[in-house]
Amino acid sequence: MKTVIIIAGPTAAGKTAKAIEVAQHFDTAVISADSRQCYREISIGTAKPSRQEMQAVPHYFIDSHSIREEVSAGIYEKLALSYAAEVWKDRDVVVMCGGTGLYIKAFCEGIDSIPAAPAAVRTAIQERYEKEGLAWLQQEVQEKDPAFYAIAEIQNPHRLIRALEVLYTTGQSITIFRTGNAVQRDFNIIKTAITLPKEQLHANIERRVHQMVADGLLEEVRAVLPYRNHNALQTVGYKEVFDYLDAKISWDEAVEQIIIHTRQYAKRQLTWFRKDKDFKWFEAGKGLLEEVAQLLKT
């Protein structure tokens, strides 16, 4: 049976290196499961694999889109399935690597088809949110979509914004479009995840952020200023630099906030993946390749 080996986990845990090692062992390709690395214009703030890493094994869904395009979990599901089918023509195994839990879930289980919002609707909500903050978002969703508000992560602006986009576009609650029925895939899925001791993960994150700054993060963010409302740029590493460019904070504060927010993001990633009991965890990736290779022998 065709197999996908998923290597998930928090940012800066060492997923990329381990995925390349596993892919080389099985002489196969890596499909990225990162919601931002697909955009050509943003490389430094997204910690894309290096040129050497990209040359080591074939990679899919990296530099595949322009920041002028919107990619969703639903689009990713279709793309990743087509990438896997392409690799499986000549191979029995493909590796999927990344930290975007929703994308991995969409690939493994399918995702409900939720209508996309017109750009004008998205922009209007985003501008209001930037002006009036999270409290406005929470109140608007609570009043206009109480069914979703009752089950929502009300501290997560992305989820609340998405709910409003659907509501303003269709006149219906986003909950109407969510069936929660998992699709049964006709391939084998092996779920692995990499973690590190908290202190080591935090040190890796801090080192990576300072490397991003040295590599030219500020210049990269300046270059994508016209697209600042794009979903991919409403994220850690970009929002903080936009605040600096808007003279809301100093450069040192921006860098410190990127480190803090990246640590918080890593914690959320750990929480997401730990909810799925099918994931087997490997500290620093030790023993992962050996275990997967053994599984595929039996």
**pLDDT tens by residue, 91-133:** 999 999 999 998 999 999 998 878 888 889 988 998 999 899 9
Region 196-218 average pLDDT: 98
CB 61 within 8 A of CB 83: yes
CA distance 172 to 257: 37
Feature table: binding site for substrate: 11-16
pLDDT interval class at 234 (50, 70, 90): confident
Q: Is the pLDDT of residue 256 over 80?
A: yes
Region 201-228 average pLDDT: 97
- Give every CB contact of residue 253 below 8 A, 6+ residues apart in sequence: 244
Q: Is the pLDDT of residue 267 over 90?
A: yes
pLDDT interval class at 231 (50, 70, 90): confident
Q: Is the pLDDT of residue 264 over 80?
A: yes
- Of all residues in the chain, the percent with pLDDT exceeding 90 is 82
Feature table: binding site for ATP: 9-16
Region 232-243 average pLDDT: 93
Feature table: binding site: 9-16
User: What CATH number should be reported for the domain whose range is 119-177?
Assistant: 1.10.20.140
pLDDT interval class at 54 (50, 70, 90): very high
CA distance 163 to 260: 27
Region 189-204 average pLDDT: 98
Structure tokens at 295: 């599984």
- Give every CB contact of residue 179 below 8 A, 6+ residues apart in sequence: 112
Q: Which of 64, 70, 56, 66 is CA-nearest to residue 32?
A: 64
Domain range 3-112+181-297, CATH class: alpha beta
Domain ranges of the chain: 3-112+181-297, 119-177
- Give every CB contact of residue 115 below 8 A, 6+ residues apart in sequence: 166, 169, 170, 177
CA distance 282 to 46: 23
Q: Is the pLDDT of residue 53 over 80?
A: yes
CB 104 within 8 A of CB 192: no
Sign for the CA dihedral angle at 218, 219, 222, 223 comes to negative
Q: Is the pLDDT of residue 56 over 70?
A: yes
Region 28-45 average pLDDT: 97
CA distance 288 to 97: 13
> pLDDT (tens digit, 9 = 90+) per residue, 141-190?
999 999 888 887 787 888 899 999 999 999 999 988 877 778 999 999 99
When the pLDDT of each residue in the chain is averaged and rounded to a whole number, the result is 94
pTM across the whole model: 0.86
pLDDT interval class at 298 (50, 70, 90): low
- Asked, colleague to colleague, whether 3-112+181-297 and 119-177 share their fold, the answer is no
